[in-house]
Amino acid sequence: MKIGILSRNPRLYSTKRLVEAAEERGHEVEVLDYVRCYMNITSKRPSIFIGDTELNDFDAVIPRIGASQTFFGTAVVRQFEMMNTYSVNESVAISRSRDKLRSLQLLSRKGVGLPVTAFAHDTKATGSLIKLCGGSPVVIKLLEGTQGVGVVLAETQKAAESVIEAFRGLNANILVQQFVKEAGGADIRCFVVGGKVVAAMKRQGAEGEFRSNLHRGGNATLCKITPAERATAVQAARIMGLNVAGVDLLRANSGPVVMEVNSSPGLQGIEEATKKDVAGSIISMIEKNAKSSSTKTRGKG
């Protein structure tokens, strides 16, 4: 089987591990810088190129699309789908998960546990937004932020009002969310592959830091999850239509709540914390599903 990994950097840990896992199983694998791709959008014979090379002989692709390149990256994935190439995560599902507001709305519709979340455009609604979330402290998030960037904990009503007004002054879209104090600055990353949680880790924020992102100095340890947490993670990935997903949960008094569903979760933290071959699980899923050469997005919205 010939597998393409859509990644901008072949030296990244996640990219290298996927290459290793595919080659260990006897597959031919190539890393494709998707930003360098260009497409021929034509009837009956859609095609895609890098330079003078036509990329028409891949059995499957693994999208590793950066957040800043979501629009173009998903267009490349969609073109491969038009060519009947199996994609681990399909273009619609990636776009769906990258839109934080849309993903929360979809999860809410299906009854998945979420922190209380408010969204508005009018700055006059600031007080009401904060009240909806149970009052201060609240977490304020930029819709377009990733890896903890653009996430602020406002501990008082005045601080929350100031942050919201500042973001509004930049014409930025924001979410205001309930602060789950009982989580203690930790979250659970569940790595879902093919409808199963194949690994889970607890990420603990650095001292004095409420964000648990590893990029911000957090640490990761092996974690035993509850049946409710497992079921929530699997359901969230299914609603997004993602075959491979990193589902971030908080342990709230009301049960597990979903903070985010990531369509390109990193492998380094989860593999080092759990000692599990997560990359191999992804390749195994491709082996089971790519032969059908079908692209049918699960979920709606």
**251 belongs to a structural domain:** yes
Identity at 178, one-letter amino acid code? Q
Report long-range pairs for 286-293 (Cβ below 8 Å, ≥24 apart): 286/1, 286/3, 286/60, 286/62, 286/86, 286/88, 287/1, 287/25, 288/194, 289/86, 289/194, 289/243, 290/1, 290/59, 290/60, 290/86, 291/59, 292/86, 293/59, 293/84, 293/85, 293/86
Token pair listed for 130: 């904060």
**32 belongs to a structural domain:** yes
Query: Which residue range forms the structural domain that includes residue 126?
Result: 117-179
Token pair listed for 264: 């390109």
Task: Check residue 230 and give its pLDDT.
Answer: 97
Give the chain's mean pLDDT.
88
**61 belongs to a structural domain:** yes
Task: Check residue 146 and give its pLDDT.
Answer: 56
In terms of domains, do 163 and 244 share one?
no
In terms of domains, do 129 and 79 share one?
no
46: left (phi over 0), alpha (psi -120 to 50) or beta: beta
CB contact at 8 A, 214 and 201: no
Tokens 């709540």 correspond to: 257
Domain finish residue from 129, 150, 179 = 179
Task: Check residue 199 and give its pLDDT.
Answer: 96
Identity at 147, one-letter amino acid code? Q
Task: Check residue 91 and give its pLDDT.
Answer: 96
In terms of domains, do 194 and 229 share one?
yes
Token pair listed for 44: 């009956």
Domain finish residue from 126, 146, 179 = 179
**240 belongs to a structural domain:** yes
Q: What is the CATH number of the domain that holds 13?
A: 3.40.50.20
- Alpha-carbon span 17 to 268, nearest angstrom: 9
**301 belongs to a structural domain:** no
In terms of domains, do 191 and 259 share one?
yes
CB contact at 8 A, 265 and 244: yes
Checking if the pLDDT of 81 tops 90, the result is yes
CB contact at 8 A, 134 and 273: no
In terms of domains, do 166 and 208 share one?
no
In terms of domains, do 159 and 196 share one?
no
Task: Check residue 150 and give its pLDDT.
Answer: 75
Whole-prediction pTM value?
0.86
- Alpha-carbon span 149 to 168, nearest angstrom: 17
Token pair listed for 97: 């998960």
In terms of domains, do 169 and 132 share one?
yes
In terms of domains, do 157 and 202 share one?
no
Domain finish residue from 136, 152, 179 = 179
Q: How many structural domains is the chain composed of?
A: 3
In terms of domains, do 173 and 186 share one?
no
Task: Check residue 300 and give its pLDDT.
Answer: 41
**101 belongs to a structural domain:** no
Query: How would you class 292 by CB atoms within 10 Å of its CB: exposed for 0-12, middle for 13-18, buried for 19 or more?
Result: exposed
In terms of domains, do 190 and 242 share one?
yes
Q: What is the CATH number of the domain that holds 225?
A: 3.30.470.20
Q: What is the CATH number of the domain that holds 160?
A: 3.30.1490.20
Q: What would the mean pLDDT of 34-56 be, rounded to a whole number?
A: 92
Checking if the pLDDT of 211 tops 50, the result is yes
**108 belongs to a structural domain:** no
Span 82-122, pLDDT tens digits: 999 999 999 999 999 998 899 999 999 999 999 999 887 76
Task: Check residue 128 and give its pLDDT.
Answer: 84
Q: Which residue has the higher pLDDT, 71 or 185?
A: 71
In terms of domains, do 88 and 131 share one?
no
